[in-house]
Every structure is written in structure tokens, then in C-alpha cells.
Structure 1
Amino acid sequence: MKKSLSLFLLLSLVLMLVPAYASAATAPVTVAYDGKAVKFTQPPVRKSNLTFVEAKPLAAQLGATYAFDTKTKSATIKKGATSIKLSLDSKAAYVNGVKQQLAVAPYSVKGYVIVPAEFVVKSFGGSVAWDGKSKLSITSPSAVEALSKQKAVNVINGYFAALSKLDVKGVKSAWLPTSWNAEDEEDLLLADGEAVIFTVKSVKVTSFTGTKATIKAEVNINYPSPYQIDEIYSITYTMVKDSAGAWKIKQENLEDYNYDLPNKPVNTTQTFSTSVEDAVNQLIDNLNAEDLDAVQGMFAEDSMSAEMMLDFWADDFDGYDTRYELSDLMIIGADEAKGTATVYVALDAEDEESAYPYDVVLFLVRDEANNWKIQELTEL
């Protein structure tokens, strides 16, 4: 009696375990493409750590064409410059004619060609992720490319953020080691005082492959000194992936730059603007008179640009008979209480050889005698 009871309990336990085991073994495999479920006539299956799905619906999701040759029993999936050839019951696959070995051969179920999804998706540049249970998530080639492009753009944004902070380590990490040298690092370390602020205004990927990208960036350079004009740089970057697959800057080319000047004047009192115009006209008169001493007397004693400009005009006076005529004047910055003015000055210059425009920005300050002095001058 005890023996029969024991056999009955054992049999009951086995019967209870079988449904649970069977359910786990036959849990349906699902496939999602960019987050959306994909329907197949034949259910996907998982074996040998690969997910096997119908070839034709998978090709449709990838935006690829699908063709099956009944004579060779081979399927061809093609999109753009990429072509994959898979043969039933053969582990030999061909991607653009190059042979690759599969872990498990494609096969047929009720006339449907079943292929390893991971191999097909990756061959076209997509990515896959298995959740370890029953779901394969496919990221389309276009989504993978978009993500990779964004990562390259992020490197450029991070590079300029590091430059603004004078973060040598951060700047250096954005570059390929072979494209960064000791001189670059020394130049950055020599930066003194407040850091220049770099603001990326626009960034565009102009060419892209899986391992190389060309990016064009427009960057505003904001100087902390009130006597420097902010600039706009157009820069092209060549980027490549390093051995770890991270985007790095290989080359930086300055294509163009412009001064970031206002397009309209600031509001000032008539008395203030007249005094500024008088100072500008006095400078022009001194230049036309080739009176270097008078020109020198118009500069502030601590002007950083005075020496360079005086040398330039001394050479000009010696070699040419240049005449300057005012064509435009615009006060683009002013603090009447502090006695400062930033002035855009457009001149028509003409010497014995040619006529040409000569544009400058004057940074003017009032001295103790209330006279305008040129603190700095920037040639445009």
C-alpha cells in the first residue's frame, strides 16, 4: 500500500512538471524591427545562439529585394551596394562575392527559406540584440547609421566644450593619438587668463561610411576681452574610428572665418556720436598727411596693437602715397558713462597701383582729458 502510494505521488509530480517544461521549451520567439513587431508565416526559432526567420519578410523590413533560384536553391538579398547570397543546407554564404562561413546553414520549412537573422541584418549594417529569453531586437541600418553619426557629432561638441574650459585631457581625448602632438598640447597650456568660449552653432555630416566621416561645423568664438571681436569659423573635420570603435578627429581644416559684427548701430546721443565721428575723421586726416607722430598720439599708451599698426603705416608712408576716404562709419558698441566706443570704419584706399577697401574696427576710450584714444584696432 505504501509502495503504491509512493508511485502515485511520483507520477503526479512528473505530470505536474511536464506542462511547465514543455511551455518553457516552446516559448515563442518574437522579433522586433526598430521597436515594431515583425510578423512571419513560419514562427522564428532560436538555436545555436542564433535566431532563424523567414528570409523574404526580413528582406522586406530591411528595404532589400529578395529572389530565390530554384535550380541552385539559393536566396539573394540585395540593397544598394550590398548583396548576400545564401544557399539551403550550406554554411557557405557570400557577401558581395566574398565567402563567409555560417555557424548553421539556412534551411526550408514548407517551402519557406529560413535564414539566420543576425547574419543578414549585420551584413547590411544593422545591429541585433537578444534579450536572453525569447525576443530579438533588430536596429535598422539607417537607425544604426543615424546613431553613429550622432556619436561623431557629439565628439565635435565635446571637443569645443573642452576647449572652452582649457581642458587639455578632454581636448586630447577627441583626437587620434597620431594626430595630436606635443606642440598642440603646449599651445593649449600656454593659454592665459579667461578661456575663450566656443559655441557650436551648426554641425552637419557631409559624408559618411561606417568608419569615416566628414563633418562641417560653424563655430562662434567669443573672446573675453572687450577689445577683441568675436568670430565665426567654418571648419571641416575628418573623423575616423579608432581600434575601440570610437570616433576620433583625424584632421581639422579651417575653411573660412568672419568677424561676428552687428548689422545695425547702437543708440547713442548725438553729442556722443559726433565726438566719435570727429575722432575717426582726425585719424583719417593724420593718415593722409602721413603724420606718424600724430597717428601715434591717437593711441592709448597701453595699446597692444599700436606697435604693429604704426610699423605698418610707417612702411606704407615710405613706399606708397595712399589716400584714405571714409565710406561708412557705424558705432556698434558704446558705454557713454564709461567713455568707450566700438566703431566699424569702412575706408576707400587708393595708392599709385590700385584702389581697394580698407575696413577696421576701432576700440576707443576717453582719456583723463576726455579725448578719444585708440585702445585697440582690428583690421578686417
Structure 2
Amino acid sequence: MKKILIASLLGSAVLGASAAQAAPATTPAAAAKPAATTTTTASEPAAKIYGNDGMVMPSAYPFFIKSTLYATADVIKQLDIEGLQVAWDNKTKSYTYTRGDRMVKIMADSNVAWVNGKEVKLEGSATFKRGMLRVPVGIIVRGVGESITWDKATQTLWVGDSSK
């Protein structure tokens, strides 16, 4: 008798859970709940980035802060900018990009970059997102003397000779 009772209760629980998952939210309480929303200053469009050696495959989607495209720091290396040296300083949590006599320094959680010794205010700050530092691509590329073109219609960033 106990086995039948247990089997009956388990069957009811399984069927009840299945019915609850399949049924639309038509109760007044369920219908009145607004959908959860989040507000952020950054969105994650599937922007395409082309470097001197072709399409770059970022380790995470690039995103915008205002009109500045931010991407994972590994993207800068993948752009294949001739003569570019990249150094990470774990103590200051900063990247230094050098090419010839040009230098750009980007520090995590700072809205300031140093471009060839001059302080430049950023629209956002280099930030860790999902464990990876996201850096402003344009200021780094231009700062080390490489050309850059943005195609808004196709959400594509062209760096150096990649647009030719």
C-alpha cells in the first residue's frame, strides 16, 4: 500500500510540474509581473573587426560605450600591426602599446589614456568584463599610428590595409 501511495504522489508531482511548465502565465499575478530589465551603458553588437591579416576573432564580443568600440585586449595583438609591442603590467593593471616612437598606455578602471605622453580622456574606462580586460580599440590603433575606418552600416571596423 505504501508503494502505491508513493508512486501515486510521485506521478502527481511529475505531471503537475509538467503542466505548470506547459501552461501560459494567465493568472492575474503572473500577467501583472513586468519582464526583468537591465540598464547598461554598453551593448554587445556583433561588430566585425578586420586587421591587416584579415578578420579578427575576439575572445568575446566587442561592445560600445557611447561611440567608442571596446574589445578584449587580445584583439589588438590580432590586428597584426607591424612593429607593435604589447606589454601587460600586472601591478598597475595596465597595457602599454608601443610602435617605434609612439606609445599608448591604458589602465584598467581608468577613463584616461596616455597617448604619446599626453593625457587623453576616454568616453568610458578600460574595464574587466567577464574576467577579460576590454580596451578602447580606436585610441590604441590611432595612437600607435595605424589608420582606422568604421563602417556604421555594416558594424565593421577596418584597421590599416584591411579595407583595401
Q: Please point out which of 74, 95, 114 is paired with 1:56.
A: 74
What is the aligned partner in structure 1 of residue 129 from structure 2?
Answer: 109
8 Å CA contact retained: 1:35, 1:137: no
Could you give the per-residue CA deviations for residues 40-83 of structure 1, whole angstroms, max 9, x where no partner exists?
Answer: 11111123111111223313422422222122111111121111
What is the aligned partner in structure 1 of residue 16 from structure 2?
Answer: none
8 Å CA contact retained: 2:69, 2:136: yes
How many angstroms apart in 2 are the aligned matches of 1:131 and 1:111?
A: 29
**Is 1:139 the counterpart of 2:159 in the alignment?**
yes
Superposed CA RMSD: 2.6
What is the aligned partner in structure 1 of residue 35 from structure 2?
Answer: none
How many angstroms apart in 2 are the aligned matches of 1:96 and 1:77?
A: 10
How many angstroms apart in 2 are the aligned matches of 1:92 and 1:26?
A: 22
**Is 1:41 the counterpart of 2:52 in the alignment?**
no
Could you give the per-residue CA deviations for residues 295-330 of structure 1, whole angstroms, max 9, x where no partner exists?
Answer: xxxxxxxxxxxxxxxxxxxxxxxxxxxxxxxxxxxx
Question: 1:65-80, aligned counterparts within 5 Å?
Answer: 65-80=85-100
Following TM superposition, by how much is the alpha carbon of 1:132 offset from its aligned partner in structure 2, in angstroms? Answer: 1.9
What is the aligned partner in structure 1 of residue 113 from structure 2?
Answer: 93
Question: 1:63-212, aligned counterparts within 5 Å?
Answer: 63=82, 64-140=84-160, 143=161
8 Å CA contact retained: 2:72, 2:135: yes
8 Å CA contact retained: 1:27, 1:134: no
What is the aligned partner in structure 2 of residue 29 from structure 1?
Answer: 47
Q: Supply the AA of the counterpart residue of 2:146.
A: G
How many angstroms apart in 2 are the aligned matches of 1:45 and 1:134?
A: 15
Question: 1:204-243, aligned counterparts within 5 Å?
Answer: none
How many angstroms apart in 1 are the aligned matches of 2:125 and 2:133?
A: 11
5+ residue gaps, structure 1: 1-7, 9-24, 148-380
How many angstroms apart in 2 are the aligned matches of 1:122 and 1:91?
A: 17
Question: 1:255-294, aligned counterparts within 5 Å?
Answer: none
Larger Rg: 1
Could you give the per-residue CA deviations for residues 206-258 of structure 1, whole angstroms, max 9, x where no partner exists?
Answer: xxxxxxxxxxxxxxxxxxxxxxxxxxxxxxxxxxxxxxxxxxxxxxxxxxxxx
Could you give the per-residue CA deviations for residues 154-173 of structure 1, whole angstroms, max 9, x where no partner exists?
Answer: xxxxxxxxxxxxxxxxxxxx
How many equivalent pairs are there?
Answer: 120
Could you give the per-residue CA deviations for residues 320-374 of structure 1, whole angstroms, max 9, x where no partner exists?
Answer: xxxxxxxxxxxxxxxxxxxxxxxxxxxxxxxxxxxxxxxxxxxxxxxxxxxxxxx
8 Å CA contact retained: 1:29, 1:46: no
5+ residue gaps, structure 2: 1-25, 27-42
How many angstroms apart in 2 are the aligned matches of 1:80 and 1:56?
A: 20
Q: Supply the AA of the counterpart residue of 1:113.
A: L
How many angstroms apart in 2 are the aligned matches of 1:82 and 1:26?
A: 30
Identity of aligned residues (%): 22
Q: Supply the AA of the counterpart residue of 2:100.
A: G
8 Å CA contact retained: 1:65, 1:78: yes
Structure (1/2) with the larger helix percentage: 1
8 Å CA contact retained: 2:97, 2:144: no
How many angstroms apart in 2 are the aligned matches of 1:38 and 1:76?
A: 20
Q: 1:111 to 1:66 in 2, by over 3 A?
A: farther
8 Å CA contact retained: 2:127, 2:133: yes
Q: 1:35 to 1:137 in 2, by over 3 A?
A: farther
Question: 1:226-375, aligned counterparts within 5 Å?
Answer: none
- The runs of at least 4 aligned residues of structure 1 exceeding 6 Å deviation read none
